[in-house]
Structure 1
Amino acid sequence: MLVHIFRGPGRVFGVTQDEGGTNLPEQFASWAYLKSAELDRERAMPGIDSRECIDDIAEHGFHITDAHVRVTHRMI
């Protein structure tokens, strides 16, 4: 799955399939694009739990972490 990774304030990161990050929560705007990457359930990505990330994107359209801790559920 091709994902796009954005940085919010502090240590907040957002991951989404939306190239522009327009579906990321406003409370952490402004989002700065970092990079795009292929995400695979079986392959580790530094700072991101691939399985949680893919599940969150499937359910909510995005995955949010704060200091590498999943906080997506707080955004819904």
Structure 2
Amino acid sequence: MVCIPCIVIPVLLWVYKRFLEPFIYPLISPFISRFWRSAVTETPQKPCADECNGAANGSTAHAPKTVADKKAD
């Protein structure tokens, strides 16, 4: 037996994507693009200082290397 939300939610999503989105999206897309553009431009990228050591972009070439202690049994 399948639960009711497992049937209803996909059907409602299909109805929205198929019939409602073509009418609703053109109305809300200017607002979405305005908020998206302002959110992207309001967060400037600051240059990395000494505390980053190149680890911010995945490079750890300048980071100090540490050796993990092995458990001696």
* Same-fold status (TM-score > 0.5): no
Q: TM-score range by the shorter chain?
A: under 0.3
Structure ID, larger Rg: 2
Give the structure with the larger strand fraction.
1
Instruction: Return the structure number with greater relative CO, CA threshold 8 A, min gap 6.
Output: 1
Q: Which has the higher helix share?
A: 2
What's the TM-score, normalizing by structure 2?
0.18
- Superposition TM-score, scaled by structure 1 size: 0.17
